[in-house]
């Protein structure tokens, strides 16, 4: 971390404040101290203005949630790192949903502190860079039918890319049966139909105003709430929205399903990469073969269409090499079948890559994220 940023420590426990200050000494060349205070209610005692990062001591989750909201209201650009002695998964999720970007368990080890500072520094300087961002990449995660775990892949891929500091949009364009809001425990005030019904006033400011930032990092645009709203959405509206999103975000991850027709054709034609998500079952492979041929006939070659095998079991009757032989394309990424981890993440409204960093699913998704960056 060569660029400087400002840090504040807010904690009722003086011993904890002093311990953190001591741990931060090796970073003296990279950080400045805006202040070390006891209460959120006294932000004016921070000597050097708005901090980039706030280390917040949390003794009680309910109070921590209130404090995070107070801090983010007072300092909208600050990244809040919650610090607690309680190993409480539900509390961790609640604090993340309130706006914390990290959760550190006390005593804070040197490695954990270093990783957190690296993360927030990437977020800070990605957001404040003066140079215009390059045109983004649209990543369509697709299978024509449901039940293949396509939303799981899309949600976790978006979170994995955002964890590296990239500006990521996650758009649910499964117009018939979208589930991104359920997977992330969102109840947004605005949805995709908020965009399409106001297409004449569509610009970057309006689009950002209707997207919801999830605690895991991505900006979310969910599917319409009503079926009738979804039916009225046109390919031209989708095209305009995707073109604008590509200018605004480094990555635009699109969750889509259904026939190669209408809006889906627009999505896939607009995509820089199509991640065709399937499973190692005979019906799944049969359908995949048909659709890969259809995509190839539309000019989507192997450089743009990549095969993702989801729910992979190494000891299943059908192996990866069998799928490659049948489909005539290499497997781009295999994601292991770990039902318990995925269900736990959905029930808690947090991607596996954040909730369970040591899960085999997380490892595979991080591998997929590295591949799509190339």
Looking at the predicted structure, is the pLDDT value of residue 112 above 90?
Answer: no
Token pair recorded at residue 2: 């060569």
Same domain, 211 and 321: yes
Looking at the predicted structure, is the pLDDT value of residue 121 above 50?
Answer: yes
Same domain, 34 and 172: no
Same domain, 350 and 305: yes
Looking at the predicted structure, is the pLDDT value of residue 125 above 70?
Answer: no
Work out the average pLDDT over 252-272. 94
Looking at the predicted structure, is the pLDDT value of residue 6 above 80?
Answer: yes
The CATH number covering residue 82 comes to 3.40.50.2300
Same domain, 211 and 327: yes
Domain end, chosen from 128, 162, 187, is at 128
Residues 6+ apart with CB under 8 A from 6: 31, 32, 33, 34, 48, 49, 50, 51, 52, 53
Same domain, 234 and 345: yes
The CATH number covering residue 241 comes to 3.40.50.300
Same domain, 101 and 144: no
Looking at the predicted structure, is the pLDDT value of residue 167 above 80?
Answer: yes
Looking at the predicted structure, is the pLDDT value of residue 48 above 80?
Answer: no
Looking at the predicted structure, is the pLDDT value of residue 1 above 60?
Answer: no
Same domain, 117 and 202: no
Please give the sequence-ordered ranges of beta strands (E in DSSP) within the chain, or none if there are none: 5-10, 31-37, 53-57, 79-84, 100-105, 137-143, 168-172, 212-213, 219-221, 251-257, 273-278, 305-312, 331-336
Look up the domain containing 235 and give its range.
137-373
Token pair recorded at residue 303: 């450089």
Q: What is the chain's mean pLDDT, rounded?
A: 87
Higher-pLDDT residue of 197 and 13 is 13
Same domain, 64 and 165: no
Work out the average pLDDT over 301-310. 93
- Angstrom distance (rounded) from CA 333 to CA 141: 13
- Angstrom distance (rounded) from CA 138 to CA 265: 14
User: Looking at 38-47, 227-236, 343-352, which range is the least confident one?
Assistant: 38-47
Instruction: Tell me what percent of the residues of the chain surpass a pLDDT of 70.
Output: 94
Domain end, chosen from 96, 128, 160, is at 128
Token pair recorded at residue 56: 């917040």
pLDDT band at 46 (very low <50, low <70, confident <90, very high): low
Residue carrying the six token digits 């950002």: 208
Give me the pLDDT at residue 306, please. 97
Same domain, 357 and 209: yes
- Angstrom distance (rounded) from CA 353 to CA 366: 8
Looking at the predicted structure, is the pLDDT value of residue 130 above 50?
Answer: no
Looking at the predicted structure, is the pLDDT value of residue 132 above 60?
Answer: no
Same domain, 188 and 315: yes
- Angstrom distance (rounded) from CA 234 to CA 222: 16
Looking at the predicted structure, is the pLDDT value of residue 234 above 70?
Answer: yes
Give me the pLDDT at residue 128, please. 47
Looking at the predicted structure, is the pLDDT value of residue 365 above 70?
Answer: yes
Residues 6+ apart with CB under 8 A from 125: 3, 5, 165
Give me the pLDDT at residue 208, please. 84
Same domain, 90 and 217: no
Token pair recorded at residue 71: 């801090």
Structure confidence by residue, pLDDT tens digits, 288-302: 999 999 999 999 988
Residues 6+ apart with CB under 8 A from 216: 96, 158, 159, 162, 163, 184, 350, 351, 353, 354
- Angstrom distance (rounded) from CA 334 to CA 309: 5
Give me the pLDDT at residue 184, please. 92
Same domain, 218 and 243: yes
Looking at the predicted structure, is the pLDDT value of residue 285 above 90?
Answer: yes
Domain end, chosen from 128, 159, 190, is at 128
Q: How many domains does the chain have?
A: 2
């Amino acid at each position: 971390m060569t660029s400087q940023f400002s840090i504040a420590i807010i904690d009722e426990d003086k011993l904890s404040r002093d311990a953190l200050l001591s741990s931060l000494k090796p970073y003296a060349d990279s950080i400045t101290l805006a202040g070390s205070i006891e209460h959120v209610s006294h932000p004016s005692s921070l000597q050097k203005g708005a901090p980039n990062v706030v280390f917040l001591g949390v003794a009680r989750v309910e109070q921590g949630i209130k404090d995070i909201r107070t801090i983010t209201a007072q300092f909208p650009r600050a990244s809040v790192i919650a610090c607690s002695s309680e190993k409480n998964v539900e509390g961790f999720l609640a604090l993340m949903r309130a706006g914390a970007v990290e959760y550190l368990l006390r005593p804070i080890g040197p490695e954990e502190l270093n990783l957190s500072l690296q993360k927030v520094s990437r977020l800070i300087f990605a957001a404040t860079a003066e140079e215009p961002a390059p045109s983004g990449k649209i990543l369509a995660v697709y299978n024509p039918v449901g039940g293949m775990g396509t939303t799981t892949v899309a949600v976790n891929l978006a979170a994995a890319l955002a964890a590296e500091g990239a500006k990521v949009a996650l758009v649910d364009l499964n117009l018939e049966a979208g589930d991104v809001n359920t997977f992330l425990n969102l109840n947004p005030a605005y949805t995709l139909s908020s965009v399409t019904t106001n297409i004449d006033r569509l610009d970057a400011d309006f689009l950002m105003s209707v997207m919801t930032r999830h605690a895991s990092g991505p900006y979310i645009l969910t599917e319409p709430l009503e079926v009738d709203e979804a039916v009225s959405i046109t390919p031209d509206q989708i095209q305009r929205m995707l073109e604008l999103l590509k200018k605004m975000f480094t990555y635009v991850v699109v969750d889509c399903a259904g026939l190669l027709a209408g809006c889906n054709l627009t999505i896939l034609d607009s995509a820089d990469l199509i991640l065709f998500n399937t499973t190692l079952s005979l019906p799944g492979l049969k359908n995949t073969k048909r659709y890969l041929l259809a995509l190839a006939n539309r000019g989507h070659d192997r450089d743009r269409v990549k095969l993702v095998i989801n729910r992979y079991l190494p000891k299943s009757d059908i192996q990866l090499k069998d799928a490659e032989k049948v489909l005539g394309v290499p497997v781009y990424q295999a994601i292991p079948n770990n039902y318990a981890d995925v269900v736990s993440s959905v029930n808690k409204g947090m991607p596996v890559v954040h909730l369970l960093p040591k899960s085999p699913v997380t490892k595979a998704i991080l591998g997929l994220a590295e591949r799509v960056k190339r």
